Chains A and B, each alone.
Chain A
Amino acid sequence: METTANAVADDVRPPVVSAVGLLKIFRDFWNRPKAKAVNDIDFEVREGEVLGLLGPNGSGKSTTVKMLLGLLYPTGGRLTVFGKSPRDVSIKKRIGYLPEETYLYKYLTAFETLDFFASLFNLSKADRTKRCEQLLDMVGLAHARNRPVGEFSKGMARRIGLAQAMINDPALLILDEPTSGLDPLGCREVKDLIQMLKKRGKTVIVTSHLLSDVEDVCDRVIILYGGKIRAQGALNDLLSIEKKERITTPALPPDVMKKVLSVLRENLKDDEFRVDHPRMSLEEFFLDVVNKARVEHVETFGARSSGHIAEYLSAGSEEKNADGALLDRLAGRVPEPAAPEPEKVDAAKEKEKAEEKKILQSLSKDREAEESARKAQEELQAARAKLSDANDKLKDLLGSRGKKDGE
C-alpha cells in the first residue's frame, strides 16, 4: 500500500478529485452526532484513472460520492473536484452521474428524458437531438425511444440513466452501482464503455458491490470500511499472490500428465498443488449464447444494443483508429458468426490472451506517465521472465521424466 501511495504521489497527472481529512458526521434532530459515515479519509483521483470505491453496506461509499456531487456537505476536511468546491455549479458541466437508483420522470419517453437532461446543459436543439439518438442507439433503446420510461424494466431504466450521465460527454463520470439491475450483456457493455472512456482519457469513479465488475475495469481501488480507508492501490499490486505460480498448457496427453504429476509430487506435498481444467466464466458462456441468438435475429422487446458507441463520445479519440478492432470488441459489437462450439482449451487460450491484453492495456494507459510505464514494463518483463523460467523448468522436468519412462 505504501508503494502505491508513493506512486500516486509521484503521478504527474492533475488530480480531478482531491480529498484531505474528509469527514462526514450525520446528526439527529437535536444536532447530536448520530453516525460518522466518512471518517478522516485522504484520497486523490487522477485524470484518466478508473477508480473503484468498494466496501460493504454502510461503509461510506455513497456518502463520499454524494459529497463529490455536492448533494451532501463535508463536516470536516477539504474536498475539491476539478480544483473547486463540489458545490460550485460551473464544475458540473464536466461531470456525469449515474445514481444508485435511477430516478427518472416516468411519464417522459426515453427520448424526452435524454432531451430534458441535455437541455440542462444548454445544448442546442440540433446537438441535443443528435446526442439523444446516438445514446439511445448505444444503450440499445433506439427501438423504445417513444415509450415512457415508466414502462421500462429496471435494466432498461438503468441504461437510460447511463445514457443521461453521458449526455454532456463528461470528463468525470461517477457511477454508483452501474451494473445493478443490468443483465450480463448490459454489465459487459457498461464495462466496455468504461474501458472506452478510459482510453479517451476520461476519469471514472465506480462504486459497486460486484467485485468482479470492479476488477475488470478499475485501475485502482479504495476499500472503505466503517468510513475509513482500509486499503487502496493498483489492482495488480493488491491482488498478485507472489508466493504462488500458475501454469496453463494445452490439454496434456495422459503420459505427459503423469510425468508432470510425478515431478510435482517429488517436489511438493499433495495438498500444495492442484491440477484441474480451466473453466469459462458463466459471463463468457452467457455472452456467447446471446451473441449467437443475435446473429440468428431472434426477436426481443428488451434492450437491443447496436454496439455502436455514440459518435460524439468516440470523436476525438486519438487511439480510435489504432485500436479500432479492440474498441469494436469492447463496445460489444456483434462478433463474427460463431465458429463451431469452442473447446475448453480455446476458452482457456482466450482467457490467457485477455490477461495479456489487460497487462498491455494497463501499459498503454500509463504511457504518458513515464515512471509508471517503466514500472509496468518491468513488471511485464518480470512476469515474462518468470513464465519463461517456469516453462524451461517444465521442459526440463518433462524431458527427464520422458527419459526415465523410456528407460
Chain B
Amino acid sequence: MLPFFAIVRLTCRSAIRSNVFRTLLFLLALSVILIPNTIKGDGTATGFIQLILEYSLGFSGAILAISVAWVCCSEIASDVESGQIHMIVVKPVPRAVVLLGKFTGVLVIHAVLLLIASAAVYGFVMYQFMRQDFPTEERQRVESEVLTGRRLIAPDKPDFAKMAEEELKHRLETARIDERQAIEQKLAGDQKRTVLAGIERELRRRNGEVEPGGVLFWKYSGISEENPDPLFLRYKLYAGTDTSKNQETTYGAWLLRFVSRTDRGEEGAEPEYTDNIVSLPPEEIMTRTRDEFGIQDTILRVGGAPDELRRNIPPELMKNLTDQLIREGTFVIGFQNYDREGKKIILQEADGPFLMVRETSFLNNYLRAVFVLFLGIAAVALVSSALAAYFTLPTSVFLAASYGLLCVFAVYLLGSMADMGDDLSMGDRMAKALSEGVFFLLIPVRDFFLTTELATGQLIDFARIGHLIFYNLVLRGLPLFLAGMLLYSRRELALAVKR
C-alpha cells in the first residue's frame, strides 16, 4: 500500500500546482463567498435561503466537476506525455496501482474542497437564518419547508397495463365494424404491444387530467396516523395543455379525505371508523410552478378534521368517495377544477401531487446532498481517468467535455425520444435504438445535483443514493474505468512521449 499512498500524495501535490485548477479554485471561492452575499431572492426568507442553497452548492459542485475532469486528464495524460511516468512504471508498482493512485489523489483533493465549500455554505445559510430578522411566520415556513428532510410520497399508481388491456377489449366491443377490422388487422400484424403501449400512454395522460368542474383523486398508502409531523402537499399544474410555456392563473380546490377512528370505550369493542372529507377553499393557482402547502396534522388524528375546514360536498362526488373503500392510514387527495375559462387542468405523473412527511433533520439531508455531489464528482473522475489513461491530454479533455455535454443534454434528448411514440419508420427505429444504446453508456451527471431537492426540504433517501451508485457508478463508470486501466496497463508508454 505504501507505493499507492505515495502516488496519491504526489498527485494531490501536483494537482494543486495546476494553473487551471487554481483558476477553478478561485471560482469556487467566489461561488461560496460571492453568491450568498449578492443574492437577494424573491424577498421572502424561504426564497432567500433556497437560492443560497441551490446556487452556492450547485455552482460549487459544477466547478468541482469541471475541475476533476481537467485534473484527472492532466495528471494522468500529461505524466505519460512528458515521460515522467517512465520513472514510476520502471519501479515495482503495477500500472493499475499507478492509475488508481492518481485517480484517488485527484478525488481526495476534490473531496476535501467539496467538504470545505459545503461547510462554508452550510455555515453561511445557518448564520443568515439566525442573524436576519425574519417574521416569525416566515421563519416557521423556512424551518418546515426548507431546513428539513421530508420524504416524498407519490400517489399509488393504477395498474396501467391491466387498464390498457381492458380499454382495448372495451374498444373492440364498442367499435364500428370497419374500425374493429382495422384494429384487428393491427393486432394480427404482431403489433399488439405497440397498440397497448399507445393506449397505456393515453391512459397515463388522462389519469392526470381534471375536466372543468370535475374532481380527480389520488390515493396514498402507508401513511402512519401516529405521524406527529405536519404533512405537506407538493404539486405543479398545467391549464389547457401541458406543452404551453406560458404561466397563467387557474382556480381549483383541494379535497382531503381520511378515515378517523373513535374508540367506543367498551373493552373488546371494535373502534368506530368515520370517513371524513375536507375541502379547502378554492384558490388562485399559478400554473407551471411548483407549489406546496401544509396540511394540518390534526386532520390525521383520531376525532377528525376541524369543523371549519368542512365544506359541502356535491352528492354525486360524495357517492364516488364513499365508493372507495379506504383502509386505515390511507390518505386520499382530490382536486376540483374551477377554471374560469373552462380549461382542463393537467397534473403530470412526474409532478405528483406528492405528500411530504418530515423524516430527518436538515443537516442530515444536507450531508446526503453533499455526498451525492461527491458521487457525481467521482463519476466524472472515473470517466475522465478512463479517457486520459489512453488518449493524449487535449484529446482526453475534448472527449471528457463532449461526454459531459452529452450527459447534460441526455435528459432532454431522452425525453424527446419518449415523445416520438411507437409508430416509427425503420430508419427512426434504428436511430432510436442507437441513441438509447449511446445514452445507456452516459452518466446523467445532472442527477447528482440534488440541490433543488435540498432547497425544497425534500429527503434524499438512501434508495435514491443506492440507485445512483449502482446504475451510474457501478454499471456505467466502473466498466469504463476498468477498460481504461486495462489499456493503461497494456500500452507502450514510451510511444506517447511528446518531444
Interface set of A (CB-CB < 8 Å, partner B): 26, 66, 69-73, 89-90, 92-93, 95, 97, 99, 101, 103-105, 107-108, 116-117, 119-123, 164, 168
User: Contacts A101-B83, A103-B82: A70 and B91 contacting too (C-beta < 8 A)?
Assistant: no
Instruction: Give A46 to B7 CA distance when docked, in angstroms.
Output: 34
User: Contacts A89-B94, A107-B13: A122 and B2 contacting too (C-beta < 8 A)?
Assistant: yes
Instruction: Flag if B492 contacts A105 (CB, 8 Å).
Output: no
Pick the residue among B6, B89, B90, B495 that contacts A116 (CB under 8 A): B6
Chain B residue at minimal CB-CB distance from A86: B90
B3 touches A (CB below 8 Å): yes
A78 to chain B, nearest CB (A): 18
> Top 4 nearest A-B pairs by Cβ distance?
A119-B6, A71-B494, A120-B91, A103-B84
Instruction: Flag if A70 contacts B86 (CB, 8 Å).
Output: no
Instruction: Give A101 to B87 CA distance when docked, in angstroms.
Output: 10
Having A66-B494, A71-B89, A119-B2, one finds 14 other A-B pairs with CB under 8 Å, namely: A26-B495, A69-B90, A71-B86, A71-B90, A71-B493, A89-B92, A90-B92, A99-B87, A104-B84, A107-B13, A120-B3, A120-B93, A121-B91, A168-B91
Instruction: Flag if B14 contacts A105 (CB, 8 Å).
Output: yes
30 pairs of residues in contact across A and B, judged by CB atoms under 8 Å: A26-B495, A69-B90, A71-B86, A71-B494, A72-B494, A72-B495, A73-B492, A89-B92, A89-B93, A89-B94, A92-B92, A92-B93, A97-B87, A99-B83, A99-B87, A103-B84, A105-B13, A105-B14, A105-B84, A108-B13, A117-B87, A117-B91, A119-B2, A119-B3, A120-B92, A121-B91, A121-B92, A122-B2, A122-B3, A164-B87
Measured between beta carbons, the chain A residues less than 8 angstroms from B17 are: 107
Instruction: Give A89 to B93 CA distance when docked, in angstroms.
Output: 7
For the complex, count residues of B whose C-beta is within 8 A of A.
25
Pick the residue among A97, A108, A123 that contacts B90 (CB under 8 A): A97
A154 to chain B, nearest CB (A): 15
A76 to chain B, nearest CB (A): 15
Instruction: Give A108 to B3 CA distance when docked, in angstroms.
Output: 16
A173 to chain B, nearest CB (A): 12
A72 to chain B, nearest CB (A): 5
B120 to chain A, nearest CB (A): 27
Instruction: Give A73 to B17 CA distance when docked, in angstroms.
Output: 33
Instruction: Give A268 to B93 CA distance when docked, in angstroms.
Output: 65
Measured between beta carbons, the chain B residues less than 8 angstroms from A116 are: 6, 10
Measured between beta carbons, the chain B residues less than 8 angstroms from A108 are: 10, 13
User: Contacts A72-B495, A73-B492: A103 and B92 contacting too (C-beta < 8 A)?
Assistant: no
Q: Mark B87-128, 1 if CB is under 8 A from A, else 0.
A: 111111110000000000000000000000000000000000
Chain A residue at minimal CB-CB distance from B82: A103
Instruction: Give A105 to B13 CA distance when docked, in angstroms.
Output: 10
**Candidate in B82, B83, B92 with the most chain A CB atoms within 10 angstroms:** B92
Q: Mark B50-92, 1 if CB is under 8 A from A, else 0.
A: 0000000000000000000000000000000011101111111
Instruction: Give A73 to B494 CA distance when docked, in angstroms.
Output: 10
Chain A residue at minimal CB-CB distance from B1: A122
Measured between beta carbons, the chain A residues less than 8 angstroms from B83 are: 99, 101, 103
Measured between beta carbons, the chain A residues less than 8 angstroms from B86 are: 69, 71, 97, 99, 103
Instruction: Give A73 to B89 CA distance when docked, in angstroms.
Output: 14
Instruction: Give A71 to B94 CA distance when docked, in angstroms.
Output: 13
Pick the residue among B82, B88, B492 that contacts A120 (CB under 8 A): B88
Instruction: Flag if B92 contacts A107 (CB, 8 Å).
Output: no
Instruction: Give A168 to B3 CA distance when docked, in angstroms.
Output: 14
